Structure 1
Amino acid sequence: MNKIGIFCSASDDIAPLFMEKAKELGAWMGEHRKWLIYGGSNCGLMEATARAAKEKGGMIMGIVPTKLEEKGAVSELLDVTFHTVNLSDRKDLMLQESEILVALPGGVGTLDEVFHVIASATIGYHSKKVIFYNIGGFWNGLLDFLKGLESQHFAHRPLSNFFQTANSFEELTGMLDK
């Protein structure tokens, strides 16, 4: 996998552990000459991942919606920039450009992106997976919820067909290095 999409928080006001892990992933991506494809923000885990990747020689693709540009919140690290009108276009382009997608800790925007990928995979638009990078058990509640959807028959097939979970950096990089 050479083109890795990252979904994550744009908040700077989160636990340092999440920043450290985002930087670790970005550095690994740069060292292994992976493309980072992300939302293009200059804040939070987005910028931390991009900066670490860039410092280690990685290439950065930002998929930037108009509102982000209007707020002056676009990273200066981008090698390639795609401009989008809205978040729906952003999600579609990130999915199109990425070979696999990783969900670091994030808020409702990250959830929206994750569910976009999983929902479109369930009906056959693509066969790409999301990897939940479960730093400190961040995704446990959501993973339990997804299991509940299955047990209550709100999913027509196992949702785990459409995502993987990495509980450590080693697990994550093992999944990405295929």
Structure 2
Amino acid sequence: MEKIGIFCSASNEIDQEFVEATRQLGEWMGKEKKTLVYGGTNLGLMECIARASKMNGGKVIGVIPALLEENGRTSSLPDQVIQTSNLSDRKDIIVEKSDILVALPGGIGTLDEVFHVISAASLGYHSKKIVFYNIAGFYNSLLAALNEMEQKYFIRKQQRNTYAVANSFEELALLLK
């Protein structure tokens, strides 16, 4: 997996534990010469992973919607910036340009991106997997809800094949090799 799409928080007010785990991933990506494909903003975990990757030799592709660009939210770190007209286009381009996708801790935007990827894969639009990086059990409640939906037949069992869970950096690195 050479191009890794990352979905994550744009908040600057999150716990340092998430920042450190994100920095570690970005550092690893840079050293492994992976290409980061991400949302392109200069905020939160997005800026953190871009900086760590770039400082360690990685290539960075930022995909930024016009509205965020107009509001001065574009990071200066990407080697390539792809401008989009909206958030939907950004999701599609990140998926298209990536070999695999990773969901770091995030909010509503991250969840929107995650479910976009899973839904599109389950319908056959692509065969890419998304990995929940479950730092400090961040996704435990969501994963339990998905499991319950599957047990009640709201989610087909084959949809489970569209995502994986990494509970440690070591597990994540193995999935991204």
Q: Structures share a fold, TM > 0.5?
A: yes
Look up the equivalent residue of 1:74 and give its one-letter code: T
How well do the aligned residues superpose, as a CA RMSD in angstroms? 0.7
Residue 125 of structure 1, CA deviation: 0.8
Report matched runs for 1:67-82 at 5 Å.
Answer: 67-82=67-82
Residue 12 of structure 1, CA deviation: 0.5
Look up the equivalent residue of 1:98 and give its one-letter code: S
Q: Distance in 2 between matches of 1:135 and 1:110?
A: 15
Superposed CA offset, 1:35-81 (max 9, x none)? 00000010100000000000001000000001110110110001011
Q: Distance in 2 between matches of 1:140 and 1:18?
A: 15
Residue 156 of structure 1, CA deviation: 2.6
Superposed CA offset, 1:145-167 (max 9, x none)? 11111111112334321100000
Q: Percent identity?
A: 55
Residue aligned with 1:148, SS: helix
Look up the equivalent residue of 1:97 and give its one-letter code: K
Superposed CA offset, 1:74-132 (max 9, x none)? 10001011100000000000010000000000000000000000000111111100000
1:150/1:158 contact within 8 Å kept: no
Q: Does 1:167 pair with 2:163?
A: no
Q: Distance in 2 between matches of 1:30 and 1:38?
A: 14
For 2:115, the equivalent position in structure 1 comes to 115
Give every structure 1 segment of 4 or more consecutive aligned residues whose post-TM-superposition deviation is greater than 4 Å: none
1:35/1:61 contact within 8 Å kept: yes
Q: Distance in 1 between matches of 2:24 and 2:155?
A: 34
Look up the equivalent residue of 1:94 and give its one-letter code: I
TM-score by length of 1: 0.98
Q: Distance in 1 between matches of 2:168 and 2:138?
A: 12
For 1:26, the equivalent position in structure 2 comes to 26
Residue aligned with 1:42, SS: coil
Q: Does 1:125 pair with 2:143?
A: no
Q: Distance in 1 between matches of 2:11 and 2:47?
A: 10
For 2:142, the equivalent position in structure 1 comes to 142
Q: Distance in 2 between matches of 1:158 and 1:111?
A: 20
Residue aligned with 1:159, SS: helix
TM-score by length of 2: 0.98
Q: Distance in 2 between matches of 1:139 and 1:174?
A: 19
For 2:59, the equivalent position in structure 1 comes to 59
